[in-house]
Structure 1
Amino acid sequence: MTQKTNRFILRERTNDVHATLESAVGQFSDAETYIRYLRGMMTFRETIERQLVSAAASVVIHGWLPGEIAPLLRKDLEDLGQIKPKAASSFDLPNDRQGLLGVLYVLEGSGLGARVLTRRAEKLGYSPSFGARHLASQISRADSWNSLLGLLDEIATSDIDRTVQAARMTFKVAIDVFER
């Protein structure tokens, strides 16, 4: 019998909230729905990234640091004449490694779909220099996901519950932002 890696345990145990988030985000097919997506992502990411920057010493794990896209999301919104974001949501960044890795699983995982989202954004006329900077940044950090997977695999399977809990909490914050 093959043992599941932590990545697959996380995916399996967060699948329901991930699907709910994807449904709440929806598809963008025009400027209006793209702006909605950008505003939601910026609100979600800015809330969490602000805390990650404040806790930088505990976030750097074996020299690896998660990608920051909130400033790029803000610039993308400014390109489109949308400078007023939604109200920030509340988020309590975990102060333990297992919990922090659960948060990072969600943040870094969002970059996996960036290639698909980039193609959609391009069809709307957005590019790495106008309106879709954050997507270009996520694509440029493709190795970051693999680095995170290595860190996740360092967690003892018996400790994965805390990581799952934090990942689920992070997904729920994002769902809350997009459902408002």
Structure 2
Amino acid sequence: MIDQETSAAPARGKVSDRAAVLRAATQSTHEKLDTSIMAARPFDSISNYSKFLKVQHAFHRDVSPLYDAQVLQNLIPDLPNRARLAAVVQDATDLGITLPDYVTAPATAEDTGLPEALGWLYVVEGSNLGAAFLFRAALKLGLSATHGARHLAEAPEGRAKQWRDFRAALDAVQLTEAEQARAITGANVAFECVRSLVAEHLAGRPSDSETVTFPGVS
């Protein structure tokens, strides 16, 4: 279950730069993911991009329950509006892509703890900040914010403000040192999850690491 005692309210007083801590602690895992995605050349063709959409669909489907969790909405007020699963599904529909069926339902937010959930959200929201480069690549394929690349487009308020608002909310959550470590674990597991999905759907080969699925933590 999500740890209610650590989620009751944002911290008062000094605010930690939790996003910076997470970035430093996950740098190696993040770089491995970026390398695997670029090696698969997802924007070389619509065919490759279609495989990339399957990666995005699998990941955003797995994390979608976090955006509906009231305990997380209390900490990040605009959280429901940040979910991108519906946009990914619409992008696939635009391109006539059949998305895989899943036998099991996605995990719920209650299946993991609050610190781990924050680590996962850091990865998902950070990917939106970094999607500007991917969106420009999608435009070269003839895609747009209204056709095929909705989930990569920036929010009306802009990527920078959206990230600043999330970062401020993330930094304001009160966590112990042990819980901070759990948030780092959650973020690293999230990056590994995407890397295993890239190997499965985009690279067309088994992952060189163990398959990881959400939530991946206890």
Please, what TM-score do these two structures have when normalized by structure 1?
A: 0.84
Whether contact under 8 Å (2:115, 2:182) holds in the other structure is yes
CA distance in 2 between counterparts of 1:48 and 1:31 reads 25
Among 192, 195, 201, the alignment partner of 1:175 is 195
Please list the CA deviations of residues 13-49 of structure 1 after superposition, one character each: whole Å capped at 9, or x if unmatched: 1111111211222232211211111111111111111
For 1:59, the equivalent position in structure 2 comes to 72
From the superposition, tell whether residues 15 and 86 of structure 1 become closer, same or farther in structure 2 (CA, over 3 Å).
Answer: farther
Identity %: 28
- Structure 1 residue 169: Cα displacement: 1.3
Which region of structure 1 is more displaced relative to structure 2, 150-159 or 126-135? 150-159
Change (3 A) 1:86 1:79: same
Q: Is the 8 A contact 2:76 2:170 kept in 1?
A: no
Does structure 1 retain, via aligned residues, the 8 Å contact 2:116–2:186?
yes
Q: Aligned ranges for residues 60-79 of structure 1 at < 5 Å?
A: 60=73, 61-65=75-79, 67-79=82-94
- Greater Cα shift, 142-151 or 103-112: 142-151
Stretch of structure 1 that moved more, 170-179 or 146-155: 146-155
Aligned mates of 2:102, 2:22 — CA distance in 1? 29
Quote the offset at 1:125 in angstroms.
Answer: 0.3
The Cα of 1:119 is off from its aligned counterpart by 1.0
Match for residue 122 of structure 1 among 136, 139, 150: 139
Kindly tell me the number of residue pairs found equivalent between the two proteins.
175
Of the structure 1 ranges 24-33 and 151-160, higher mean CA displacement relative to structure 2 is found in 151-160
- Trace 1:3-82 onto structure 2 (pairs within 5 A): 5-26=17-38, 27=41, 28-49=43-64, 51-53=65-67, 55-60=68-73, 61-65=75-79, 67-82=82-97
Which stretches in structure 1 are left out of the alignment for 5+ residues?
none
More displaced, 84-93 or 103-112?
84-93
TM-score (norm 2): 0.71
Structure (1 or 2) with the greater helix fraction? 1
Query: Deviations for 1:111-154, whole angstroms, at most 9, x for unmatched residues?
Result: 11221111111110001111111112557552231122112322
User: Quick check: 1:121–1:132 contact (8 Å CA) kept in 2?
Assistant: yes
Larger radius of gyration: 2
Is residue 145 from structure 1 mapped to residue 145 from structure 2 by the alignment?
no
SS in 2 for 1:10: helix
Query: Matches of 2:103 and 2:183 in 1, distance apart?
Result: 24
RMSD over aligned CA atoms reads: 2.5
Residue 58 of structure 1: SS of its match in structure 2? helix
Structure 2 unmatched ranges of 5 or more:
1-15, 201-218
